Copies of this chain bind each other. A is one copy, B any other.
């Protein structure tokens, strides 16, 4: 589960000019260790037991800071909830409408706007929506 040391996390924060507070390390580490594209609330819920004084505001502030420093990216795959991803390289996402899980799709090349539009994309989101294999399997069982 721990695919990155606390040392590395602290180094990354310092490298981006972010002072590595206990809370920031916790949030950033959580994202490093759980590639589940969590919402701010999920992060808060999961960290609360280990950091009883943690405030939800701090989670929001930290996420905003990490995004501003390009240490994480926002995944806007569904309205009404922002999700966060330590992987800042371009990759697509698939959201299952049954289990709501978000699956990474790495084998799609980064897209550009058509030449003739003259538009330059600073960032791109490619989102697919459907039913994942697991949930499809369960549905077929029942019928």
Closest to A118 in B: B133
A130 contact set on B, CB distance < 8 A: 119-123
Interface residues on chain A, size class: 35 or more
Q: How many copies does the complex hold?
A: 2
Given the known inter-chain contacts A94-B113, A113-B128, please indicate yes or no for A119 contacting B107, CB distance below 8 A.
no
Tell me the interface secondary structure of chain A in the complex. strand
Complex formed: what's the CA distance from A111 to B110 in Å?
12
Contact check: which of B80, B81, B108, B114 meets A108 at CB < 8 Å? B114
A105 partner residues in chain B, CB cutoff 8 A: 113-114, 117, 119
Taking CB atoms, residues of chain B closer than 8 Å to A79 are 74, 76, 79-82
- Known contacts A82-B79, A114-B108; decide if A121 and B94 are in contact (CB<8 Å): yes
Q: Does A61 contact B (CB under 8 A)?
A: no
A75-105 interface code vs B (CB 8 A; 1 in, 0 out): 0111111100000000010100100000101
Q: Contact residues of A with B, CB < 8 Å?
A: 74, 76-82, 92, 94, 97, 103, 105, 107-108, 111, 113-114, 116-133
